[in-house]
Chains A and B, each alone.
Chain A
Amino acid sequence: MERLLPDQVEIDSLIDKLYRQEAGKLIAVLTRFFGAEHIELSEDVVQDALTEALSNWKVNGVPENPSGWLYTVAKNKALNVIRKEKNRKAGTSDIAHFLDSIWTTQPALDYFFSEREIQDDQLRMIFMCCHPAISADSQIALALKTLCGFSIKEIASAFVTCPENIHKRLVRARKTIRDHQIQFEVPVGNELEKRLKAVQETIYLLFNEGYNASGGDMLIRNHFSDEAIRLTSIAVSHVAIKSKETTHALLALMLFNSARFAARTDEYGNIITLEHQNRLLWDRARIREGFIHLQKSHPHQFVSKYHILAIISSYHCAASSFESTNWIGILHEYDRLLEIDDTSIVRLNRAVVVAKVEGAGQALAQLEEIDDLNDYHLYHSVKADLQTQLMQYLAAIDSLQCAYKLAIIPAEKVLIKKRMANCKKKIQN
């Protein structure tokens, strides 16, 4: 077979891409074979298959169908493992025995590695990673590692922590899976509803880790949001999930928010606030897709946090300019949100809108009633913004100083500095 000339850099970047694309799928299907308690084994086998691919391709060139090649290696490794595991009497899944018979081995490999089954397995994996018995930070780490194909090193640098820490979270997650005998399956009946909520929570958390990056490797974190969208797309298109309204709402919300991604920073990585964003840079196709899912979420019949947040985001996406935004509509949605999710963060975001509708003075008064966000840089940042609007420049500088101390991302610090300088200029004039 004609093979492409190997080039070190090319192979490395191909492997990276391939790994991101296929690792999650392969780990999911292997876990179906090995059983939930052997999830680490699946991760190792996929890692092995990749390493083998890498060293082979360096010598022989990249095959025409790299994915297919990788799948074949993974299948063979799975066979070896099952046959070895059997000797060790390790617990295996209800389908592992198919690999013990020559009548069923090949059909089982063909069938369980098929596109449709892999989709099912990824959904099973989503439910397993987002099991409420696993702590939130472990859930995220496990999902990033097993579903999204990130390495421990990448996850650690995204969360500004050491690899050992991420490793510990993964160990804890796997231990919880064993201790609670969490099954590799999509729950049914009443349980499904409850567990789906947990899945949505985790995915939304993952999305926000990418969207509201509070530090860490931005290149990696930017992928988090896309991965969250991909995982939600799997859930929303799956027949096992009957009531999909809230999942559609979550998907719409993430599509709307991520559509504005490219406009949020300038070429130097500086943050551009919504007011000053170039709306031509917003991803129109994504926004359209967001509206399709918003419609499918039946926002007039169903109410959830995601429905309301999606509607708010849709108002922003629909506005041709900051000035022409339907602030009254948005404020109305925030009032509805407070009824079901009365948190300080919601009140903080609502205050920004109150400033647009009822004036900065009113907003500032409401902001000062919030007493538990003193450690949150955006609280001080919003406060400073309102104080600036009210021409209370000295107070604004105080608030910006608080925000500066609490902010982590350099781009955010730069923005705060700039605003401080503006306030000082106003005082001098």
Chain B
Amino acid sequence: MKDFLLIIKTEGSVWSDLSPDALQRHMQQGGQYISKLMEEGKLKNANPIDKGSRIITEEKGTIKDGPFNEGKELVAGYFHIVATDIDEAVAIAKGNPIFEDIPTQIEVHPLMPVGGE
């Protein structure tokens, strides 16, 4: 089993863009999706990202921090999962019901194992 980080990026936010009805369905389906991953022992962690992100940059020797400037795309949250390989991780990411609700991109990153291989 290998660890993967799935970064969820959405165009707009489900909280502000979905009707109460759609939001309710979104939460229910999302819950079922997460439950299933838990049941299969594949979920290590999943967290939505709150408002107020900052970004730290280096410019001409000074390290500055400022508001995280998002365009219409925003980082909605992440999943830390385990899967046998990248293909399974991709399949898990594809199964996320969020695709039905809002334009979404999911990045699938393999995490480097401790000790290496």
Q: How many Å lie between the Cα of A19 and that of B30 in the bound state?
A: 34
Decide: B35 and A101 in contact? CB cutoff 8 A. Answer: no
Q: Are B48 and A103 in contact (CB under 8 A)?
A: yes
Report if A110-B48 is in contact (Cβ < 8 Å); known contacts: A103-B30, A103-B77, A104-B43.
no
The yes or no answer to A102 lying at the interface (CB within 8 A) is yes
Residue of A nearest to B77 (CB): A103
- Complex contact A111–B45 (CB within 8 A): no
Q: Note all chain B residues with C-beta closer than 8 A to A108.
A: 38
CB of B39 within 8 A of CB of A104, answer: no
Determine if A98 is an interface residue (Cβ-Cβ < 8 Å).
yes
Q: Assess A110 versus B46: contact at CB under 8 Å? Given A98-B38, A103-B77.
A: no
Q: Cβ of A110: which chain B residues have Cβ within 8 Å of it?
A: 31, 35
Rounded to whole Å, the gap between the CB of A273 and the closest CB of chain B is: 53
Bound CA span A110–B46, Å: 16
B47:A111 contact, CB within 8 angstroms: no
Main secondary structure on chain A at its contact with chain B? helix
Total count of chain B residues near the partner, CB < 8 A: 13
> In the complex, what residues of B have CB within 8 A of residue A103's CB?
30, 34, 46-48, 77
0/1 string, B15-36, CB within 8 A of A gives 1:
0000000000000001110110
Query: Nearest residue in B to A116 (C-beta to C-beta)?
Result: B39
Interface residues on A, range: 10 to 19
Interface residues of A in 318-376 (CB under 8 A from B): none
State how many angstroms separate the Cβ of A51 from the closest Cβ of chain B.
31
Decide if A106 touches B45 in the complex (CB within 8 Å): no
Give the residue name and chain of the B residue nearest to A94 (CB).
B44
Per the bound structure, the CA–CA distance linking A176 and B38 in Å amounts to: 31
A78 CB to nearest B CB, Å: 16
Q: Is A288 an interface residue (CB 8 A)?
A: no
Q: Which of B39, B46, B48 has a CB less than 8 Å from the CB of A111?
A: B39
Residues of chain A lying within 8 A (CB to CB) of residue B43: 104
Residue of A nearest to B50 (CB): A102
A107 touches B48 (CB 8 A): no
Q: Are B48 and A102 in contact (CB under 8 A)?
A: yes
Name the interface residues of A81-115: CB closer than 8 Å to any CB of B.
97-98, 100-104, 106-108, 110-111
In order of increasing CB-CB distance, the 8 nearest A-B pairs are A107-B34, A107-B35, A101-B47, A103-B46, A107-B31, A111-B38, A111-B35, A104-B46
Beyond A97-B45, A101-B45, A110-B31, list 18 extra A-B contacts (CB 8 Å).
Answer: A100-B47, A101-B47, A101-B48, A102-B48, A103-B30, A103-B48, A103-B77, A104-B34, A104-B45, A104-B46, A104-B47, A107-B31, A107-B32, A107-B35, A107-B38, A108-B38, A110-B35, A111-B39
13 A–B contacts from the bound complex (CB under 8 Å): A103-B30, A104-B34, A104-B43, A104-B45, A104-B46, A104-B47, A107-B31, A107-B34, A107-B38, A108-B38, A111-B35, A111-B38, A111-B39
